[in-house]
Protein backbone atom coordinates (compact mmCIF):
# COMPACT_ATOMS: atom_id res chain seq x y z
CA UNK A 1 0.00 0.00 0.00
CA UNK A 2 2.82 2.37 0.85
CA UNK A 3 4.45 1.69 -2.51
CA UNK A 4 1.17 2.42 -4.32
CA UNK A 5 0.73 5.72 -2.46
CA UNK A 6 4.29 6.72 -3.31
CA UNK A 7 3.72 5.91 -7.01
CA UNK A 8 0.52 7.94 -7.05
CA UNK A 9 2.26 10.90 -5.40
CA UNK A 10 5.14 10.75 -7.88
CA UNK A 11 2.67 10.56 -10.80
CA UNK A 12 0.85 13.66 -9.59
CA UNK A 13 4.14 15.55 -9.34
CA UNK A 14 5.12 14.58 -12.89
CA UNK A 15 1.72 15.56 -14.31
CA UNK A 16 1.93 18.93 -12.62
CA UNK A 17 5.39 19.43 -14.03
CA UNK A 18 4.03 19.44 -17.60
CA UNK A 19 3.00 23.07 -17.18
CA UNK A 20 6.48 24.01 -16.00
CA UNK A 21 8.87 22.09 -18.22
CA UNK A 22 9.10 22.39 -22.02
CA UNK A 23 9.92 19.35 -24.09
CA UNK A 24 12.98 20.25 -26.18
CA UNK A 25 11.98 20.11 -29.88
CA UNK A 26 14.05 18.62 -32.67
CA UNK A 27 16.62 20.97 -34.18
CA UNK A 28 14.89 23.40 -36.54
CA UNK A 29 11.41 22.27 -35.45
CA UNK A 30 8.63 24.40 -34.04
CA UNK A 31 6.73 22.37 -31.44
CA UNK A 32 3.30 22.81 -29.90
CA UNK A 33 3.38 20.16 -27.17
CA UNK A 34 0.87 19.63 -24.39
CA UNK A 35 2.81 22.14 -22.33
CA UNK A 36 2.76 24.87 -24.96
CA UNK A 37 -0.90 24.16 -25.66
CA UNK A 38 -1.61 24.66 -21.97
CA UNK A 39 0.27 27.97 -22.00
CA UNK A 40 -1.66 29.08 -25.08
CA UNK A 41 -4.96 28.35 -23.35
CA UNK A 42 -3.85 30.63 -20.51
CA UNK A 43 -3.10 33.44 -22.98
CA UNK A 44 0.70 33.26 -22.68
CA UNK A 45 2.97 34.44 -25.52
CA UNK A 46 2.88 31.71 -28.20
CA UNK A 47 3.48 32.46 -31.92
CA UNK A 48 0.13 32.31 -33.75
CA UNK A 49 -0.81 29.36 -35.96
CA UNK A 50 -2.41 29.98 -39.34
CA UNK A 51 -4.40 27.87 -41.80
CA UNK A 52 -3.88 29.03 -45.40
CA UNK A 53 -6.20 28.10 -48.28
CA UNK A 54 -6.30 28.86 -52.01
CA UNK A 55 -9.17 27.77 -54.23
CA UNK A 56 -11.34 28.29 -57.24
CA UNK A 57 -13.14 26.38 -59.96
CA UNK A 58 -12.41 24.10 -62.88
CA UNK A 59 -15.61 24.72 -64.79
CA UNK A 60 -18.29 23.57 -62.33
CA UNK A 61 -15.86 21.64 -60.13
CA UNK A 62 -14.26 23.32 -57.09
CA UNK A 63 -10.56 22.98 -56.32
CA UNK A 64 -8.42 24.01 -53.37
CA UNK A 65 -5.14 23.36 -51.62
CA UNK A 66 -3.92 24.35 -48.19
CA UNK A 67 -0.83 25.15 -46.19
CA UNK A 68 -0.19 25.58 -42.48
CA UNK A 69 2.10 28.24 -41.08
CA UNK A 70 3.30 30.07 -38.00
CA UNK A 71 4.05 33.79 -37.96
CA UNK A 72 4.64 36.63 -35.52
CA UNK A 73 2.37 38.94 -37.53
CA UNK A 74 -1.38 39.39 -37.63
CA UNK A 75 -3.90 37.39 -39.61
CA UNK A 76 -4.34 40.31 -42.02
CA UNK A 77 -0.59 40.60 -42.58
CA UNK A 78 -0.24 36.89 -43.28
CA UNK A 79 -3.21 36.91 -45.67
CA UNK A 80 -1.75 39.85 -47.61
CA UNK A 81 1.46 37.90 -48.19
CA UNK A 82 -0.31 34.59 -48.89
CA UNK A 83 -2.72 36.21 -51.36
CA UNK A 84 0.11 38.03 -53.10
CA UNK A 85 2.10 34.80 -53.50
CA UNK A 86 -0.78 32.73 -54.85
CA UNK A 87 -1.75 35.53 -57.25
CA UNK A 88 1.86 35.63 -58.48
CA UNK A 89 1.79 31.86 -58.95
CA UNK A 90 -1.43 31.79 -61.00
CA UNK A 91 -0.46 34.96 -62.81
CA UNK A 92 2.82 33.45 -64.03
CA UNK A 93 2.53 33.48 -67.82
CA UNK A 94 4.02 30.05 -68.51
CA UNK A 95 1.96 28.31 -65.84
CA UNK A 96 -1.21 30.13 -66.90
CA UNK A 97 -0.64 28.89 -70.45
CA UNK A 98 -0.60 25.29 -69.18
CA UNK A 99 -3.91 25.75 -67.33
CA UNK A 100 -7.30 25.49 -69.02
CA UNK A 101 -9.33 28.64 -69.56
CA UNK A 102 -11.94 26.86 -67.39
CA UNK A 103 -9.54 26.96 -64.43
CA UNK A 104 -9.84 30.02 -62.22
CA UNK A 105 -8.34 31.17 -58.93
CA UNK A 106 -11.21 32.86 -57.07
CA UNK A 107 -10.09 33.21 -53.45
CA UNK A 108 -7.38 32.89 -50.84
CA UNK A 109 -7.91 32.89 -47.10
CA UNK A 110 -5.99 32.91 -43.84
CA UNK A 111 -7.52 31.58 -40.63
CA UNK A 112 -6.06 31.98 -37.18
CA UNK A 113 -5.88 28.56 -35.52
CA UNK A 114 -5.93 27.81 -31.81
CA UNK A 115 -3.43 25.59 -29.98
CA UNK A 116 -5.23 22.50 -31.31
CA UNK A 117 -5.02 23.92 -34.88
CA UNK A 118 -8.76 24.50 -35.08
CA UNK A 119 -10.00 27.50 -37.08
CA UNK A 120 -11.12 30.61 -35.22
CA UNK A 121 -11.24 33.83 -37.28
CA UNK A 122 -10.70 34.15 -41.05
CA UNK A 123 -9.61 36.81 -43.54
CA UNK A 124 -10.38 36.21 -47.22
CA UNK A 125 -9.23 37.82 -50.48
CA UNK A 126 -11.13 37.60 -53.77
CA UNK A 127 -9.26 36.80 -57.00
CA UNK A 128 -10.21 36.40 -60.66
CA UNK A 129 -7.22 34.83 -62.44
CA UNK A 130 -7.85 32.25 -65.16
CA UNK A 131 -5.70 29.94 -67.25
CA UNK A 132 -5.13 30.63 -70.92
CA UNK A 133 -4.65 27.11 -72.34
CA UNK A 134 -7.03 25.55 -74.87
CA UNK A 135 -9.12 22.57 -73.83
CA UNK A 136 -9.09 20.81 -70.47
CA UNK A 137 -7.90 17.56 -68.93
CA UNK A 138 -10.23 15.69 -66.54
CA UNK A 139 -10.62 17.59 -63.28
CA UNK A 140 -9.04 14.77 -61.22
CA UNK A 141 -5.70 15.00 -63.07
CA UNK A 142 -3.16 17.00 -61.08
CA UNK A 143 0.49 17.85 -60.70
CA UNK A 144 2.02 17.30 -57.26
CA UNK A 145 4.06 19.90 -55.40
CA UNK A 146 5.78 18.22 -52.45
CA UNK A 147 6.86 20.23 -49.41
CA UNK A 148 9.62 18.66 -47.31
CA UNK A 149 10.90 19.09 -43.76
CA UNK A 150 14.05 17.74 -42.10
CA UNK A 151 12.07 14.59 -41.21
CA UNK A 152 13.04 12.02 -43.85
CA UNK A 153 9.89 9.98 -43.33
CA UNK A 154 6.36 9.76 -44.73
CA UNK A 155 5.15 12.12 -41.98
CA UNK A 156 7.90 14.61 -42.82
CA UNK A 157 6.30 16.06 -45.93
CA UNK A 158 3.11 17.61 -47.27
CA UNK A 159 1.79 18.10 -50.79
CA UNK A 160 -0.40 20.18 -53.03
CA UNK A 161 -2.51 18.65 -55.79
CA UNK A 162 -2.52 21.33 -58.48
CA UNK A 163 -5.25 20.64 -61.04
CA UNK A 164 -6.96 22.27 -64.00
CA UNK A 165 -4.42 21.72 -66.77
CA UNK A 166 -4.89 21.92 -70.51
CA UNK A 167 -3.68 19.12 -72.83
CA UNK A 168 -0.69 21.24 -73.88
CA UNK A 169 0.91 20.50 -70.49
CA UNK A 170 1.31 16.80 -71.29
CA UNK A 171 4.45 15.31 -72.78
CA UNK A 172 4.35 13.33 -76.02
CA UNK A 173 2.40 10.14 -75.33
CA UNK A 174 0.23 11.83 -72.71
CA UNK A 175 1.40 9.99 -69.60
CA UNK A 176 3.71 12.56 -67.99
CA UNK A 177 3.92 16.32 -67.69
CA UNK A 178 6.21 17.86 -70.26
CA UNK A 179 9.56 19.27 -69.16
CA UNK A 180 8.30 22.73 -70.11
CA UNK A 181 5.12 22.40 -68.04
CA UNK A 182 7.09 21.10 -65.05
CA UNK A 183 9.52 24.01 -65.32
CA UNK A 184 6.60 26.45 -65.63
CA UNK A 185 5.05 25.14 -62.41
CA UNK A 186 8.40 25.39 -60.61
CA UNK A 187 8.74 29.00 -61.77
CA UNK A 188 5.19 29.78 -60.63
CA UNK A 189 5.66 28.29 -57.15
CA UNK A 190 9.01 30.06 -56.81
CA UNK A 191 7.18 33.32 -57.55
CA UNK A 192 4.87 32.56 -54.61
CA UNK A 193 7.82 31.79 -52.33
CA UNK A 194 9.44 35.10 -53.28
CA UNK A 195 6.24 37.03 -52.55
CA UNK A 196 5.81 35.35 -49.16
CA UNK A 197 9.35 36.18 -48.12
CA UNK A 198 9.75 35.80 -44.37
CA UNK A 199 6.22 36.93 -43.46
CA UNK A 200 5.32 33.43 -42.30
CA UNK A 201 6.98 30.04 -41.86
CA UNK A 202 5.26 27.17 -43.73
CA UNK A 203 5.10 24.03 -41.61
CA UNK A 204 3.96 20.42 -41.70
CA UNK A 205 1.57 19.67 -38.83
CA UNK A 206 1.57 16.34 -37.01
CA UNK A 207 -1.92 16.06 -35.53
CA UNK A 208 -1.21 12.68 -33.97
CA UNK A 209 1.95 11.55 -32.25
CA UNK A 210 4.18 8.77 -33.59
CA UNK A 211 6.03 6.06 -31.69
CA UNK A 212 9.52 7.29 -32.52
CA UNK A 213 8.88 10.57 -34.32
CA UNK A 214 7.10 13.88 -33.66
CA UNK A 215 4.58 14.23 -30.85
CA UNK A 216 0.92 15.21 -31.26
CA UNK A 217 0.16 18.76 -32.40
CA UNK A 218 3.79 19.48 -33.23
CA UNK A 219 5.11 21.08 -36.41
CA UNK A 220 8.25 20.95 -38.50
CA UNK A 221 9.23 23.88 -40.74
CA UNK A 222 9.23 23.27 -44.48
CA UNK A 223 12.79 23.66 -45.73
CA UNK A 224 12.50 22.63 -49.40
CA UNK A 225 10.11 21.45 -52.09
CA UNK A 226 9.93 19.87 -55.53
CA UNK A 227 7.57 19.20 -58.44
CA UNK A 228 6.99 15.76 -59.93
CA UNK A 229 6.56 15.22 -63.67
CA UNK A 230 4.14 12.34 -63.03
CA UNK A 231 0.49 13.12 -63.71
CA UNK A 232 -1.41 12.13 -60.56
CA UNK A 233 -5.08 11.53 -59.81
CA UNK A 234 -6.81 13.19 -56.88
CA UNK A 235 -9.81 10.91 -56.47
CA UNK A 236 -11.62 13.02 -53.86
CA UNK A 237 -11.89 15.94 -56.27
CA UNK A 238 -14.86 14.29 -57.96
CA UNK A 239 -16.79 13.47 -54.78
CA UNK A 240 -19.31 16.27 -55.37
CA UNK A 241 -19.77 15.58 -59.07
CA UNK A 242 -23.24 14.57 -60.27
CA UNK A 243 -22.91 11.31 -62.14
CA UNK A 244 -25.11 10.36 -65.11
CA UNK A 245 -25.33 6.62 -65.82
CA UNK A 246 -26.43 5.06 -69.11
CA UNK A 247 -28.01 1.59 -69.08
CA UNK A 248 -26.76 -1.29 -71.17
CA UNK A 249 -29.20 -3.43 -73.18
CA UNK A 250 -29.64 -7.02 -71.97
In a domain, 247, yes or no: no
Nearest partner of 79 among 127, 23, 18, judged by Cα: 127
Contacts of 206 (CB under 8 A, 6+ apart): 155, 213, 214, 215, 216, 217, 218, 219, 220
In a domain, 152, yes or no: yes
Q: Which domain holds residue 149?
A: 28-235
Q: How many structural domains is the chain composed of?
A: 1
What are the pLDDT digits (tens) for 54-98? 999 999 899 999 999 999 999 999 999 999 999 999 999 999 999
In a domain, 45, yes or no: yes
In a domain, 11, yes or no: no
**Cβ neighbours around 150 below 10 Å, total:** 14
DSSP secondary structure letter of residue 22: P
In a domain, 207, yes or no: yes
Distance of CA 199 to the CA centre of its chain: 16
pLDDT attached to residue 238:
62
In a domain, 220, yes or no: yes
The arithmetic mean of pLDDT across residues 216-245, rounded, is 86
In a domain, 39, yes or no: yes
pLDDT attached to residue 38:
41
Entry pTM: 0.79
What are the pLDDT digits (tens) for 1-50? 444 444 444 343 333 333 322 322 332 333 333 434 443 443 334 689 99
In a domain, 16, yes or no: no
Nearest-10 Cα torsion for 112, 117, 119, 121 = -20
Amino acid sequence: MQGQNESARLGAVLIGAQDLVDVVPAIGATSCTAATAARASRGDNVMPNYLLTAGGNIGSFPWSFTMKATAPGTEATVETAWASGIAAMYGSAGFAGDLSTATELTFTSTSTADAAWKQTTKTETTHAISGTGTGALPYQIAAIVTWRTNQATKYGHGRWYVAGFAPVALAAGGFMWSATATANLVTAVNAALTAWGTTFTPVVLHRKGTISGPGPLTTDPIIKGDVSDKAAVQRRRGDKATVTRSDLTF
